[in-house]
Chains A and B, each alone.
Chain A
């Protein structure tokens, strides 16, 4: 454990992390109608985790977020392939996406698109790859 006095950095990051993660989720979900999407949403989430790594130890962050980022990358790829290959079940070409409006009791009319699931795959892959690169560089001591 490092014993430097990082109170200001750690306290500010505790508050700022919520803003950054919220904004990255916003960018991810708004990607269909506004600038944004899986890639920069994933990069921003990875940036939030990197901020945690700057303020705390690599071991503390592994305790806060017990995620194996290599598995996260694999899950993302499975999402991307699964949503693309799912089109084959309906006798349409690979990568054909479906779109529709769904009325959900509390949230009301929502337009849902299977491309969002593909984008979720991109999001997971970007978070997983970025964090794998940074952790493997950071762990060499």
Chain B
């Protein structure tokens, strides 16, 4: 039982470190902001969560200390990090950072065009209604 838990502690911490390293390589090697953000927000989150889990197991197993702050940090990181990634990507898109030159689809651009066209149609309709009412 001891050996299994000690193996798990080492496994979680090493896997977490490896995932963080993969995230760093992704940030260096990927071509544009969106793909880099994809690497950083997913892989680094899982990496840090694995390290926290390893640290929690270490203190629980070897010192009998149930550290609820590590669990809280675990949950907190799981909830905040994707939201942060989403906001960075969104801010980048809306401030006009270009996509990688080999990317082929941009659904958000199409949808935004559609939405703004829809707004214009609504405005026209409202203006017509107002004109009718004023007549």
Footprint of B on A, CB under 8 Å? 8-9, 12, 15-16, 19, 23
Residue pair B76, A12 in contact (C-beta under 8 Å): no
Which of these binds chain A: B16-24, B31-39, B50-58, B79-87? B79-87
Check B72 for interface membership: any CB of A closer than 8 A: yes
Check B75 for interface membership: any CB of A closer than 8 A: yes
Within the assembled complex, what's the spacing in Å between the Cα atoms of A8 and B87?
Answer: 9
- Write the nearest CB–CB distance from A17 to chain B, whole angstroms: 11
Residue pair A8, B86 in contact (C-beta under 8 Å): yes
Residue pair B86, A19 in contact (C-beta under 8 Å): no
Within the assembled complex, what's the spacing in Å between the Cα atoms of A15 and B83?
Answer: 12
Which residues of B, 102-129, contact A by the 8 Å Cβ criterion?
none
**Hey, which chain A residues are within 8 Å of B86, CB to CB?**
8
Residue pair B83, A9 in contact (C-beta under 8 Å): yes
Q: Which 6 A-B pairs have the closest CB atoms?
A: A12-B83, A19-B76, A8-B86, A8-B83, A12-B79, A16-B79
- The residue on B at minimum CB distance from A12 is B83
**Hey, which chain A residues are within 8 Å of B80, CB to CB?**
12, 16
The interface residues of chain B, by DSSP majority, are classed as: helix
**Hey, which chain A residues are within 8 Å of B76, CB to CB?**
16, 19
Q: Mark B59-85, 1 if CB is under 8 A from A, else 0.
A: 000000000010010011001100100
| Sample of 17 A–B contacts (CB below 8 Å) | A8-B83, A8-B86, A8-B87, A9-B83, A9-B87, A12-B79, A12-B80, A12-B83, A15-B79, A16-B76, A16-B79, A16-B80, A19-B72, A19-B75, A19-B76, A23-B69, A23-B72
Within the assembled complex, what's the spacing in Å between the Cα atoms of A8 and B85?
Answer: 12
- The residue on B at minimum CB distance from A27 is B69
Within the assembled complex, what's the spacing in Å between the Cα atoms of A108 and B85?
Answer: 46
**Hey, which chain B residues are within 8 Å of A19, CB to CB?**
72, 75-76
**Hey, which chain A residues are within 8 Å of B69, CB to CB?**
23
Within the assembled complex, what's the spacing in Å between the Cα atoms of A15 and B80?
Answer: 10
- Write the nearest CB–CB distance from B96 to chain A, whole angstroms: 16
